[in-house]
Amino acid sequence: MRTPRPGPLPSGRLLSRAMAGVGGRPGHTLQLEKAQAVNTTGRATIGHTEMEYFIELFFSGLTRGSIYALIALGYTMVYGIIQLINFAHGEIYMIGAFTALIVTGVLTYYGWPHLAIVLMAAVLAMFYAAAYGWTMERIAYKPLRDAPRLSALISAIGASLFLQNYVLLAQTSDFLPFPNLIPDFAFLDPVSNLFGTTDFLIYTTTGVVMALLTFLIKFTRVGKAMRATAQDRHMAMLVGVDVNLIISITFVIGSTTAAIGGVLIASHVGQINFYIGFIAGIKAFVAAVLGGIGSLPGAVLGSLVLGWTEAFFTGYVSSDYEDVCAFVILVIILIFRPSGLLGRSDVQKV
């Protein structure tokens, strides 16, 4: 807590003189003065600041959780259908982001209007991610449907390694900035210190995706076939469900949501790199298990819990141990609910 100095302005003037002495721009001096003015008055309304801080952290956690949710949905869907932890899913997210970057780069070069670029980039990113997901399933997972689960897991890890290095070699190891094409929505200005345009887009997209997926699973024929395959694959085959097609569709849908996540996070953070898939993938996987793997609402809930835990811990305790906290919470929740928050406990019939 800083005691108010005897008038902020005099020292401000001293500062500008000092800055001018070393060739500082007057504009920058003004910036510093403004910052200092804010500092002394900002502390006055402390009650409001605390509440505001809490809400800010809430939205921060919501952003994180939504991104994790978009990726976790893919994980949980694939797991529900073929009991495979698709380690390469994080890489699909990364490929979605990269494709969006490439499309954006090319179209900006040809001078397309911003909105068209954004839409085109998103659509193509989803399309290509789905294509990669579909291809990966055909090559790395389909031959292993009846093999031991661990073999499929290792194959997934190999696929993940392959995709990471493929993008690294074909593109670059640099951190590439993502052009800021999404305009600031005017109606969000009042709450702009709480969350921004990209945050808002992330929340709404996740909500829409979640709603669409639930609708798909619950009310369409494809959804019914997916549920049937998840329950008992061989039986579904006997009843006439084209299991191969359903599994491919699952992968395609999962990859699409991951790609959406990739595009959104690229616009939000502003930078992408070939390695982002690995870390996001692990976190999303943890979130999916936390919520109960195989359950769609569970994936979203788990992701939100994870996001909020990280945000609040960073905000109130320390950013150093935020991951440790997340994992500890995970362990504690799993001790008391061994099948995750919303998971159905696996009844083992003898």
Partner 1 sequence: MKSCASKLCLSAIVVFVAVFALSGVGLAQDTIKLGVAGAHSGDLASYGIPSIRAAELVVKDANAKGGVLGKQIELLLGDDACKPELATNVATKLVSDGVNVVLGHICSGATKAALNIYGSAGIVVMSPSATNTELTLSGEYPNFFRTISYDDAQARLQVDFAKDVLKVKRVACLHDKGDYGKGQSTLAKQFFEEAGIEVALFEGVTPGAVDYSAIVQKIKRENVDLVVWGAYHPEASKIVTLMRKKKMDTPFMGADGIKDETFIKVAGEFAEGVFATGPRDVSQNPLFIAAKKAHQEAYGEDPGPFFTEAYSAALALLNAIEKGGSTEFEAVTKALRSEYVDTPVGNISFDQNGDAIGIGFSVYQVKNGVFTTVQ
Partner 2 sequence: MTLAELKKSLLAAVWFMFLTFPIMVIKVNTIEKTVEWHWERLFYVAAGGFVFSFLWRYFLRRKEGGGRPAAAVEADAPEKVSPLQRLIHDRRFSLPALVLLGGFVLVFPYLFSMYQVNIMTTALIYVVTGLGLNVVVGVAGLLHLGYAAFYAVGAYTYALLNFHFGLSFWLALPIGAALGCVFAILLGLPVLRLRGDYLAIVTLGFGEIIRLVLENWNDFSFGPSGIANIPRPKFLWFDFSLEQSAVFIYFLMLALVLLTVFVTNRLKDSRIGRAWIAMREDEVACQAMGIDIARTKLSAFAMGSAWAGMAGVVFAAKTTFINPASFTLWESIVILCIVVLGGMGSILGVILGALVLILLPEYLRAFSEYRMLIFGVVMVVMMVFRPGGIVSEVRRTYQFKEGLSKDGGRS
Of positions 1, 22, 240, 348, contacts partner 2 by CB under 8 A = 348
Measured from the CB of residue 62, what is the shortest distance to partner 2 in angstroms? 23
Window of 24-32, 194-202, 233-241, 318-326 that interacts with partner 2 by CB under 8 A? 318-326
3-state helix, strand, coil in the chain (%, to 5): 75, 0, 20
Say if residues 89 and 76 touch (Cβ distance below 8 Å). no
Residue 77 to residue 83: CA distance in whole angstroms: 9
Strand-pair partners of 177: 271
Window of 188-196, 226-234, 252-260, 315-323 that interacts with partner 2 by CB under 8 A? 315-323
Window of 29-37, 209-217, 251-259, 280-288 that interacts with partner 2 by CB under 8 A? 280-288
Residues in contact with 100: Cβ distance below 8 Å, sequence separation at least 6, in sequence order: 121, 122, 124, 125, 178, 259, 262, 263, 266
Task: Choose between 68 and 141: whose C-beta lies nearer to partner 1.
Answer: 68
Of the candidates 330, 307, 265, the residue with the CA atom closest to the CA atom of residue 98: 265
- Residue 328 interaction partner, one of partner 1, partner 2, none, beta carbon < 5-8 Å per kind: partner 2
- Residue 171 interaction partner, one of partner 2, partner 1, none, beta carbon < 5-8 Å per kind: partner 2
Window of 43-51, 52-60, 135-143, 234-242 that interacts with partner 2 by CB under 8 A? 135-143
Window of 20-28, 154-162, 211-219, 245-253 that interacts with partner 2 by CB under 8 A? 154-162
Say if residues 229 and 241 touch (Cβ distance below 8 Å). yes
Measured from the CB of residue 68, what is the shortest distance to partner 2 in angstroms? 14
Measured from the CB of residue 70, what is the shortest distance to partner 2 in angstroms? 19
Binding to partner 2 in span 164-183, by CB under 8 A: 164-167, 169-172, 174, 176-179
Task: Choose between 41 and 345: whose C-beta lies nearer to partner 2.
Answer: 345
Contacts to partner 1 by CB under 8 A = 2, 11, 14-15, 18-19, 22-25, 28, 31-32, 34-36, 38-39, 42-43, 49, 53, 56-57, 59-61, 63-64, 67-68, 173-177, 180, 192-193, 196, 199, 265, 268-271, 273, 275-276, 279-280, 283, 310-311, 314-315, 318-320, 322-323
Looking up tokens 């929505």, which residue turns up? 185
DSSP strands (E only) in the chain: 176-177, 271-272
DSSP strands (E only) in 137-258: 176-177
DSSP strands (E only) in 151-304: 176-177, 271-272
Which tokens is 26 given? 């007057």
Strand-pair partners of 271: 177
Task: Choose between 49 and 172: whose C-beta lies nearer to partner 2.
Answer: 172
Residue 72 to residue 206: CA distance in whole angstroms: 11
Binding to partner 2 in span 95-124, by CB under 8 A: 95, 98-99, 101-106, 109, 124
CA 287, 141, 90: angle at the middle one, nearest 5? 35
Measured from the CB of residue 82, what is the shortest distance to partner 1 in angstroms? 27
Which tokens is 154 given? 């290792």
Measured from the CB of residue 348, what is the shortest distance to partner 1 in angstroms? 36
Residue 346 to residue 350: CA distance in whole angstroms: 12
Instruction: Give the burial class of 203: count Cβ atoms within 10 A of its Cβ; 0-12 exposed, 13-18 middle, 19 or more buried.
Output: middle
Window of 30-38, 143-151, 212-220, 227-235 that interacts with partner 2 by CB under 8 A? 143-151
Looking up tokens 């345009």, which residue turns up? 197
- Residue 243 interaction partner, one of partner 2, partner 1, none, beta carbon < 5-8 Å per kind: none
